[in-house]
Amino acid sequence: MPPILERPRSDSAPVLLRFCSGVLRGAPGRSPPRTFSARLSRQTFRVRGRPARLRSMTSSHPPLSADEATRGPSSQLWDAHTAVRYDDTLGWMGTPEAVEPAVDLLEQLADGGTALEFAVGSGRIAVPLAARGVPVHGIELSEPMVEQLRAKADAERIPVTVGDMATAHVPGRFSLVYLVYNTISNLLTQQEQVACFRNAARHLMPGGRFVVELGVPPLRRLPPGQLTCPFDVSEEHLGFDVIDPVTQRLTSYHHWPRRGEQGRSEQRYAWPAELDLMAQMAGMELERRTADWHGAEFTADSEQHISVWRLPLGAAESPDPAAQTTRAP
């Protein structure tokens, strides 16, 4: 079902959504989110048109099926309204306390090589990583988000391929591919998430690493028999998540009674173990999983994880796929 989101009547900022816990009162705060959180807009998301068909290729990673190559992504499209507000509403996720540990680890994992960020957005991570001297390329679905990045770094400094991170190809091989801020859950089907792992592996040189930052699905917070979970009940805003354990779809509903606004956003949640299997299908092995960018131990109570999978050093390098969409706005 296509995403449905009613356009707010006022020109207000997007909010930080939290799955099933935490308090959300208007714009996000400047304290670390404790739970699976993702920035989504209560804008009208448009479903993106079909991307161009990819050239077929032979590789150790299977080429995209005709279906994969022609189907557009399920992700909701971040439009201009959302993009221009993105940086101003990052809250804690935009602070040095959140960004620097991530950049520290990514720089270390790039190991002197080049990096590719899936869903690079406005460059929250790519810009400081490039400033450390790591060559960074991005893939991004939303051209308005790339325009925000262009205000900070030109196409020579951080080239961006406009396309779907599950299918788009960038020339070259990277020592690091990374996908942060829960964004793999923007791909709403398991098939696309699997394709995203395969696409990461296709872009890695042997020994290269794929890093994902993602929340742990908040199912333990649900009382038995209940699939709806409020995450904010205030005079300003009513927010609740509806979880479908069959499809692993999490839908967040919002209502702002005073403004007469409402909205809805969708994600597909996945357990760490499911991601490990996706990595395995793509020929990668789990190297480490921590609860945060500082390296805290991942435990049963962890609400997010930073996972690092590695393409074995002996893995056959797949031929460099021809660039699918190499526009560089």
Ligand X SMILES: C[S@@+](CC[C@H](N)C(=O)[O-])C[C@H]1O[C@@H](n2cnc3c(N)ncnc32)[C@H](O)[C@@H]1O
Decide whether 155 or 227 has the Cβ nearer to ligand X.
155
Residue 176 pairs in a beta bridge with: 115, 209
Decide whether 21 or 122 has the Cβ nearer to ligand X.
122
Based on the shown chain and the rule CB under 6 A, indicate whether residue 304 belongs to the binding site for ligand X.
no
Please identify, among the stretches 2-10, 138-146, 289-297, 310-318, the one whose residues bind ligand X according to the rule CB under 6 A. Answer: 138-146
For the bound state, the minimum distance from the C-beta of residue 25 to ligand X, rounded and expressed in Å, comes to 20
Decide whether 39 or 237 has the Cβ nearer to ligand X.
39
Which tokens belong to 131? Answer: 């400033």
Which tokens belong to 279? Answer: 């990595």
Which tokens belong to 326? Answer: 């190499």
Which residue of 3, 8, 73, 321 would you call a contact of ligand X, by CB under 6 A?
A: 73
For the bound state, the minimum distance from the C-beta of residue 52 to ligand X, rounded and expressed in Å, comes to 15
Strands 204-215 and 15-18 turn out to be: unpaired
Based on the shown chain and the rule CB under 6 A, indicate whether residue 45 belongs to the binding site for ligand X.
no
Decide whether 121 or 283 has the Cβ nearer to ligand X.
121
- Distance between CA atoms of 17 and 92, rounded to whole angstroms? 13
Contacts of 287 by beta carbon, 8 Å cutoff, 6+ apart: 209, 308, 309, 310
- Tokens 């290269």 belong to 208
Q: How many CA atoms lie within 13 A of 68 on its CB side?
A: 22
For the bound state, the minimum distance from the C-beta of residue 316 to ligand X, rounded and expressed in Å, comes to 27
Which tokens belong to 57? Answer: 């290729």
Give the residue nearest to ligand X (CB). Answer: 121
Binding mask 174-203 for ligand X (x = CB under 6 A): ------xx-x--xx----------------
For the bound state, the minimum distance from the C-beta of residue 83 to ligand X, rounded and expressed in Å, comes to 7
Please identify, among the stretches 73-81, 199-207, 264-272, 291-299, the one whose residues bind ligand X according to the rule CB under 6 A. Answer: 73-81
Interacting residues with ligand X between 93 and 132 (CB under 6 A): 119-121, 124-125
Please identify, among the stretches 16-24, 104-112, 161-169, 227-235, the one whose residues bind ligand X according to the rule CB under 6 A. Answer: 161-169
Q: How many CA atoms lie within 13 A of 216 on its CB side?
A: 19
What is the 8-class DSSP label of residue 297? Answer: B
- Enclosing H/E stretch for 283: none
- Distance between CA atoms of 262 and 243, rounded to whole angstroms? 19
Query: How many CB atoms within 10 Å of residue 127?
Result: 18
Decide whether 222 or 328 has the Cβ nearer to ligand X.
328
Decide whether 211 or 216 has the Cβ nearer to ligand X.
211
Which residue of 39, 137, 173, 305 would you call a contact of ligand X, by CB under 6 A?
A: 39
Residues 279/309, Cβ–Cβ less than 8 Å: yes
Decide whether 142 or 175 has the Cβ nearer to ligand X.
142
Radius of gyration of the chain (CA): 19
Q: Find the length of the chain.
A: 329
Provide the binding-site residues for ligand X, judged by CB under 6 A. Answer: 38-39, 73, 75, 78, 119-121, 124-125, 139-142, 145, 164-166, 180-181, 183, 186-187
